[in-house]
Amino acid sequence: MSSPTQRTLKLLREEGYLAEVVERWIPGANIRKDLFGWVDILAIKGAETLAVQCTSYSGVSERLKKIRDSDTLDAVRAAGWSIQVHGWRKVKSRWAVRRVDLS
């Protein structure tokens, strides 16, 4: 099964974005560190820069709170970046995404 991050990468690339994962694995600590504490994927298309947090459908509310509580949110908004949370779930054996815009 593909992860929410992999599904979002595929979706954004199909929509014409140049998208890359920007979270990183910290060996020894065995943790993942997101860019600015909450960005999993950074994508660009034309003049748009899009920061995305990926999760399961049930994790959307928790991720929204995490981003809203972040000290970096205002700086990312001031830079003009679009911000979305993508929550994934299966509906009738197909993957469906809920997108929440925090821009």
- Averaged pLDDT in 10-residue chunks for the chain of 103 residues: 91 98 89 93 98 97 97 97 97 95 94
What does each C-alpha distance from 33 to 5, 8, 16, 25, 68 come to in angstroms?
A: 14, 18, 26, 6, 17
Rounded to two decimals, the pTM is 0.92
Listed residue (58, 55, 45, 74) closest to 6, CA to CA: 55
For the chain, domain boundaries: 4-101
The pLDDT value given to residue 32: 87
Element (H, E) at 6: helix 4-14
CATH code at 4-101: 3.40.1350
49: which strand partners?
44
